[in-house]
Structure 1
Amino acid sequence: MGAGQGLEGCYSCIKYLMFAFNFLFWLLGCAILGVGIWVRVDTNFKQYVDSNETFNILYTAAYILICVGAIIMVVGFLGCCGAIRESQCMLATFFLFLFIIFIILLGAGIWTIVEKDTLKDAVSQTLKDNVKRYYTDKTESAKKFMDSVQENFNCCGSTMGPIDYMPRLPPSSCLKGVLKPCDSKVFNYIRDNMVIIAGVAIGIGVVMMMGMVLSLCLCCAIRREVGKY
């Protein structure tokens, strides 16, 4: 009798842990969705995207975050329903979705590490192209882009500082006594934010692994309960 009550208590504990986990998971989806919307509508990001097509990746990342956040919210809701209704089908679907999202996160993390040097070259080349077109671009997109970068990062030019603008004088946006080029500053900024994103992704991955373990445990517990009858 005591052992049976112990198993029943363990089953109830897993069930409510699963519900609590999925509620937190749903809140996480809301947060990711909110970040995606913020990146898409924030004017600070907009000025870079509008000035240079290379930075359209910011909006691409925003759309990915919005999609992932919405999917996580749906998956979290599915897990909550599966835990409350004790549905093995819902829990199995929940596990499958978590596993797919986990693989995507893992692949994105590996791609980020592999492509780090490529990103550095892309940043340098983008800055060089915009410095070259600073005084000749009729649309002034290069001028707006470089002025924004130089003022925000307190730098000048692309790879060599004010010399990059020769034989012309450097623009007023970098005449602040600062001789450091912009490529390293911009790349370091992106890299530091990538580290933060990677840390968040690892945290989400750990949470997902916990969710997968809980869903398997609850499925097994439900199967045992069904087997009694």
Structure 2
Amino acid sequence: MAQRCLKCLKYTMCVANFLCFMCGVAVLGLGVYLMVTFKFTILTPSLASFSVANMLLISGIVITCVSFLGFLGALKENRCLLLTFFMLLFFLMLVELAAACLLLMYEAQIAEWVEKDLNDGLKKAKTGRNETVLSEWDLLQNTFHCCGVNNASDWGRNVPKSCHEPPRNGTTPAYKPGCLATLKTWFAENFLVTGISVIVLCIIEVLGMCFAMTLFCHISRTGLGYKL
């Protein structure tokens, strides 16, 4: 009976990690596609390193590497790979929890940092010399239906087309809310979803660690698999 349960655990780990591996490949492919085709920022215009494409690339690489280790370790009953898989999951969980705690502790400082970054990006866009920053501001304003940092007056006389709403009654009024207030509202509305996602992800990682350590201990007791 115990052997059957362990066999079931082994193949469950293989299937779960294979599915995660395929998801990681899909995320990685999407990141490459967005990087080649689009230039879309996730936070503010001048934070190019936080683009959606870069985030997807990093996430895809991490998911594929970790899930591959788990799949191969369970399939081959390799203690070294299983232990590495366990340690990586444990490290990732610590990083996620640390990042969540830092966001809660330094929420005010992060808000100030985002505001400063928006103002710096707006100055570069107003000069007209940096086309990349200007196009990213256009995308930000079109996506969140906002204009400038605080309002349309931040652009002075040269208000970009992305600040204007679709034509109504022959007029094209500018979006009233600024991007700073809109971003704060967006983060507040998605805070609960983000928290739930982190909790679910941590539960999945804990289950993965439990499965890996159970299989690791069984292999150690029976003397099977590759030795450390």
TM-score (norm 1): 0.72
Question: Which amino acid in structure 2 is aligned with residue 36 of structure 1?
Answer: G
Gap regions ≥5 residues in structure 2: 165-171
Show CA shifts across 1:131-166 (max 9, x none). Answer: 55665x14164655554444443333322x244456
Question: Which amino acid in structure 2 is aligned with residue 206 of structure 1?
Answer: I
Tell me the CA shift for residue 94 of structure 1: 1.7
Distance 1:80 1:150, change over 3 A: closer
Indicate yes or no: 2:5 matched with 1:13. Answer: no
Gap regions ≥5 residues in structure 1: 1-5
Asked if the contact 1:37–1:66 (Cα under 8 Å) also holds between the matched residues in 2, the reply is: yes
The 2-side partners of 1:94 and 1:20 are apart by: 15
For residue 139 of structure 1, the aligned residue among 129, 134, 157 is 129
RMSD: 3.5
Tell me the CA shift for residue 177 of structure 1: 5.4
Counterpart in the other structure of 1:80: 71
TM-score (norm 2): 0.72
Show CA shifts across 1:61-101 (max 9, x none). Answer: 64454244223323322222222222222211221222222
Indicate yes or no: 2:180 matched with 1:180. Answer: no
Q: Would you say how many aligned residue pairs link Structure 1 and Structure 2?
A: 215
The 2-side partners of 1:97 and 1:154 are apart by: 40
Counterpart in the other structure of 1:57: 49
Asked if the contact 1:130–1:145 (Cα under 8 Å) also holds between the matched residues in 2, the reply is: no
Alignment of 1:30-45 (within 5 A): 30-43=25-38, 45=40
The DSSP-based 3-state class of the residue aligned with 1:121 is: helix
More helix by share: 1
The 1-side partners of 2:144 and 2:114 are apart by: 14
Give identity over the alignment, percent.
27
Tell me the CA shift for residue 211 of structure 1: 0.9
